[in-house]
Amino acid sequence: MDPDVLRDAAYDTISSPMLTYRQRLQRLAQVGENLLDPPKLSPEAEDALATGLLCDLHEGPAPYRPRYVLPDYVRALRQGSAYLELDPPQDLEEALSFLRILYQQVPSITTFPVFLGDLDTLLEPFVDGISDEELHRSLTRFWRELDRTIPDAFTHANLGPQDSRVGRMLLRIDRELAQVVPNLTLRWDPKTSGDALLDEAVRSIVAVNKPHIANHPMIARDFPPETFPAGYGVVSCYNTLPIGGGAHTLVRLNLAESVARHDGDIDDYLAVTLPAHLELLFEVLAARSTFLVEEAGFYRQGFLVEEGLIDPGRFTAMAGLYGIAEAVDLLLGGDPLYGVDQAANELGHHLVAVAAAAVAAAPMPYCVDDRAMLHAQSGISEDLDVTAGARIPTGREPDTIRHILAVAPHHQLFASGVSDIFAVEPTAKDNPDALADLTRGGFAAGLREITFNVDGCDLVRITGYMVRLSDVERSRRGAVRHASTLLGAEAIDHHQVLERTPRVVSAETSPFRIGAREPRP
């Protein structure tokens, strides 16, 4: 890169009134990374990255840390850490202190940890004999400190699938504090979680649009214990990955651009053009994963590996897709049909199935089972005129029931994560049972994950992460604590995410009551 361009970028960073000190440091590190040459690629793959067919999501030209790291916090609490000079904790305060210290040592693409663990599982063994008042006080301090010391909305905590005292208390505290951090997922299983825990989660959703709810039985089938002994975690924007591992890298294919480069019929696209573009995606994934392992040597050093908190054999690479809506519309002649026309939806499902089969057949170095994992990439702020993942474009959403049925067939294919945001009107606050029924029905229909955005909340979802609208307004006047707020402001401006069509849902009148409870007396 031209030295003058680098100097200008560095100066613009250190002099920006829109960045905090820590954000300036992070940007300067990125300027330095951009001095490096990327892994060697074919001319075709280089062109695909340069022209927008492929996107590496600004991971940097030469990756030196995995994109997502999910330490085995259960093991850490059980054995302590020689590197951090910490004994295994014996009570709740020691456990919370242990985790706060350990989080500061966990890398990711954001420089902050993206996974805080299954917090109810981690903390429940330490709460016997502690009163509700004391538990509330301790966990509130912990929750507040997470937001203040990890100012990044891609940081994610998990609860469930079991009901627990800690899980319920954290849901209560999350809606009391209404913080951006941490993002939160409830892994819900009708056999072990129970209706009462789902009701508690819905109380939080109508207040703060959290938690996101994951279909635990479906996801667990993709992470069998013989291959993934520590299970899975949900991190960042709905990404499901192995605990004790994570993802080396995430590279995505713009399917709208892929179709735009095709000259022929639908069958020819699916048989020739799409496989060719996927091969370019696989080439970039393999090159970046190999560089991280062999050149950067990330897994050859560090206490996370030495103490068994991560295992290089539990990492994968994420093959991302986005722009499915626009790809289908282009293949069918340009009319906006995806999401509202059954034939268009079925073409979208078939397109994803072709891609999934290609991912399952392509060898991928340094990955679990020597394969990448398919991912519905949920978008970045600079995406223009292209829809995240397999979502229905903003403003085109049908009623919630048809919306769920249109996208659910995709969900079984995206083992490393897929997301759809269902916007509902504020009337849901007076009828939260309707959201619980939609969750049960959606999971019965095949949804892997479900997320509601209740209109009128200060906390809103952008692609998967949360921002406060009040923070967005402050970010237009100066620096704000969460760098992710700046991304949210860009997404609001570019993607009209606040213009998602909010729908009325009713537990009494909804025909979509698969697995619903009997009405309350």
The string of pLDDT tens digits covering residues 471-485 is: 888 888 888 888 788
Beta strand 212-215 with 232-235 is: unpaired
pLDDT of residue 511: 45
Alpha-carbon torsion, ordered 118, 153, 388, 256, to 10 deg? -120
Q: Give the span between the Cα atoms of 323 and 468, in whole angstroms.
A: 27
Beta strand 315-322 with 115-118 is: unpaired
Mean pLDDT score, 435-449: 95
Q: Give the span between the Cα atoms of 366 and 438, in whole angstroms.
A: 39
Return the SS3 of 253.
strand
For residue 161, give Cα distances in angstroms to 140, 147, 190, 256, 427: 22, 24, 9, 37, 28
Return the SS3 of 36.
coil
Q: Of 3-7, 76-80, 439-443, give the lowest mean pLDDT range.
A: 3-7
pLDDT for residue 416 is more than 80: yes
Q: What is the pLDDT of residues 124-180, one digit of tens each?
A: 999 999 999 999 999 999 999 999 999 999 999 999 999 999 999 999 999 999 999
pLDDT for residue 504 is more than 70: no
CA nearest to 233, candidates 255, 251, 212, 249 = 212
Band (pLDDT 50/70/90 cuts) for residue 517 is low
Contacts of 281 (CB under 8 A, 6+ apart): 54, 251, 252, 253, 319
Residue 128 class from Cβ within 10 Å (0-12 exposed, 13-18 middle, 19+ buried)? exposed
**Preceding omega of 43 cis (within 30 degrees of 0):** no
Contacts of 521 (CB under 8 A, 6+ apart): none
pLDDT for residue 11 is more than 90: yes
Contacts of 462 (CB under 8 A, 6+ apart): 381, 487, 488, 491, 492, 497
Phi-psi region of 70 (alpha: psi -120 to 50; beta: other; left: phi over 0): beta
* Under 8 Å between Cβ of 111 and 26: yes
Q: What is the pLDDT of residues 349-384, one digit of tens each?
A: 999 999 999 999 999 999 999 999 999 998 887 888
Question: How many CB atoms within 10 Å of residue 470?
Answer: 11
What is the length of the chain? 521
Q: Give the span between the Cα atoms of 110 and 96, in whole angstroms.
A: 23
Higher local confidence (pLDDT), 431 or 160: 160
Contacts of 385 (CB under 8 A, 6+ apart): 256, 326
Q: Give the span between the Cα atoms of 211 and 194, in whole angstroms.
A: 16
The encoded tokens of residue 493 equal 């401006």
For residue 355, give Cα distances in angstroms to 362, 376, 382, 512: 11, 11, 24, 30
Q: Give the span between the Cα atoms of 337 and 500, in whole angstroms.
A: 17
pLDDT for residue 515 is more than 90: no
Q: Where are the beta strands (DSSP E) in 449-514?
A: 449-454, 459-461, 466-468
Helices (H), 105-254: 119-123, 132-149, 165-177, 194-208, 216-221
- This prediction's pTM: 0.93
pLDDT of residue 462: 81
Q: Give the span between the Cα atoms of 504 and 368, in whole angstroms.
A: 43
CA nearest to 143, candidates 88, 183, 185, 186 = 183
Q: Mean pLDDT across the chain, nearest whole number?
A: 92
The encoded tokens of residue 401 equal 């029931």
Q: Of 121-125, 287-291, 458-462, give the lowest mean pLDDT range.
A: 458-462
* Under 8 Å between Cβ of 153 and 484: yes
The encoded tokens of residue 96 equal 């919370």
Question: How many CB atoms within 10 Å of residue 277?
Answer: 24
Return the SS3 of 318.
strand
pLDDT of residue 335: 86
Beta strand 156-159 with 373-376 is: unpaired
